[in-house]
Structure 1
Amino acid sequence: MKVFQAIEQRRAVRHYQSDIEMPEQDFTQLMSAVLLSPTSYNIQHWRFIRVTDKAHREKIKAAAWGQDQVSEASELIILCADINAWNDRPQRYVANSPKETQDMLLPMISAFYSNKEQLQRDETMRSCGMAAQTLMLAAKGLGYDTCPMIGFDREALARLIRLPQGHVIGMMIAIGKAKTPAHPRGGQLPLNEVLWENHF
């Protein structure tokens, strides 16, 4: 599928064929694409939980206020992020760069994020957002539908997945084959309401 087709056809699908399993090859291809998503300084804050246990899915569904896609979809991915990834062995993020690049970037990473808690958290959300969009478009390219979700009790979900300290939950994404089509688009704002040139 062409990129623009995938963008146009990607919709938030809420009901899935519960008897469809995603082949492991498709899952590997999907996640390999996600790992190519951009992050600031190549920090790769994201941490993914693939929920495969059906009983666990039911508990997560309860934390998501009974939304069917949690249990029906072929795959359920919880996108989390490590807020402190910027300070966790940062040499990993530049390991394939020339030494002069490493010598420049490593102090920059530290100076940019040190003592800036809001920026650290904001960066994890940006990283999760870019990974999520890559995941959804790659899934569409493979013939799957998706549903990004923020409708859940965050504290309950954090307990269920044993979220480590210093980590946050960005969203969940259900992936599978649609049982019923998505509702028509609610209405896109025209470009002239959202685009300015040079300044507001």
Structure 2
Amino acid sequence: MSNSNDPILNKLFQDSNTYIEKALDVNKEEFIKVVQSRRSVRIYNDEQIVESDMLQCLELSLLSANSSNLQPWEFYWVRDENKKIKLIDYCLGQPAAKTAQELVVCVARPDNWKKNTQLMLDMSKHKEIPKAVSTYYNKIVPLAYNQGLFGLFGLIKKISTYFIGFTRSIPREPTSISDMNVWAHKSTALACQTLMLSLRAFGYDSCPMEGIDSHKIKKLLKLPKRAKICMVISAGKRADNGVYGKRFRLPKDRFIKII
């Protein structure tokens, strides 16, 4: 949330940092296979997902990149049969939900930024971390994510950043409740992709669903008003006719811009 001229951010990555984490050797060909073989599967067969596999895939999703490490997400693995029947209905009874072995509701929690900030600070008391990190969570994070009562502080930030932006680069968002929703959805969506790729790497398939009744799903899970349903992900093993057609994409030049 800070710009490159911010001394606090610079301290986090200064040369005097003594922590070293070497990158593991990876197999790019295997990763390419995982990405290319991930399809949105609409019909699953009856083969069950091993419980420990599902748990590990969910845990891997928590390692996803996210804003300020505030982890504004929750994942509800719906296993209760009665709730699952209702959830299938709230997913409009589509085959991707009805034939799935497992269903996960992915929830964005913009309202948890303050609670998670405090949890990060509490954890930092038991770990050796740079002082700048503590300063970041104590000062920068509240300034960046707090929108104030009725969003008034966010409005003040919006006006301030507009004028400051004439003289230097500065983060322009989030400055509203709506911006906070987008902020949480972005991190949650990154974790959703990790979950789907993890399932594929474990030999399973998935389908992200947005054609859902989010209001009823929130009531089913007893979620607070500020919680937002990002998507529902179904999982299982694809049936022979589980993929509706050959994959196609628009020309890459339409999307990849090299400048």
Establish whether TM, by shorter chain, passes 0.5: yes
- The reply to whether residue 106 of structure 1 matches residue 138 of structure 2 is yes
Residue 164 of structure 1 aligns with which residue?
224
SS at match of 1:2: helix
- The reply to whether residue 196 of structure 1 matches residue 247 of structure 2 is no
Aligned-pair distance for 1:90? 0.6
Aligned-pair distance for 1:186? 5.2
- The reply to whether residue 16 of structure 1 matches residue 77 of structure 2 is no
> C-alpha distance in 1, partners of 2:211/2:251?
27
> C-alpha distance in 1, partners of 2:242/2:97?
17
Residue 243 of structure 2 aligns with which residue?
182
Residue 133 of structure 1 aligns with which residue?
193
Uncovered stretches (5+) of structure 1, i.e. residues with no partner: none
> C-alpha distance in 1, partners of 2:96/2:56?
22
Residue 173 of structure 2 aligns with which residue?
none
Aligned-pair distance for 1:26? 0.5
SS at match of 1:148: strand
Uncovered stretches (5+) of structure 2, i.e. residues with no partner: 1-28, 148-175
Conserved 8 A contact 1:52-1:75: yes
> C-alpha distance in 2, partners of 1:113/1:100?
18
Going from structure 1 to structure 2, the CA distance change for 1:15 and 1:89 (only over 3 Å counts) comes to closer
Quote the RMSD (CA, aligned, Å).
Answer: 1.8
Residue type at the aligned position of 1:28: L
1:38 aligned to 65, 72, 92, which one? 65
SS at match of 1:160: helix
- The reply to whether residue 122 of structure 1 matches residue 182 of structure 2 is yes
Residue type at the aligned position of 2:242: P
CA shift digits 1:92-151 (9 cap, x unpaired): 235253333211343111111121312211111101110110000000000000000001
Residue type at the aligned position of 2:117: P
Residue type at the aligned position of 1:168: K
SS at match of 2:223: coil
Going from structure 1 to structure 2, the CA distance change for 1:78 and 1:89 (only over 3 Å counts) comes to closer
Conserved 8 A contact 1:113-1:119: no
CA shift digits 1:47-95 (9 cap, x unpaired): 1111112222221122222112323212100000211222114132352
- TM-score under structure 2 length normalisation: 0.71
- The reply to whether residue 25 of structure 1 matches residue 52 of structure 2 is yes
* Aligned residues with identical type, % of pairs: 28
CA shift digits 1:27-60 (9 cap, x unpaired): 2211121110011000101111111122222211
Aligned residues: 197
Residue type at the aligned position of 1:169: I
Segment drifting more, 65-74 vs 76-85: 65-74
SS at match of 2:57: helix
Residue 11 of structure 2 aligns with which residue?
none
Segment drifting more, 170-179 vs 59-68: 59-68
Going from structure 1 to structure 2, the CA distance change for 1:135 and 1:89 (only over 3 Å counts) comes to closer
- TM-score under structure 1 length normalisation: 0.90
Residue 156 of structure 2 aligns with which residue?
none
Tell me which structure has the larger Cα radius of gyration: 2
Residue type at the aligned position of 1:2: E
- The reply to whether residue 59 of structure 1 matches residue 83 of structure 2 is no
Residue type at the aligned position of 1:144: Y
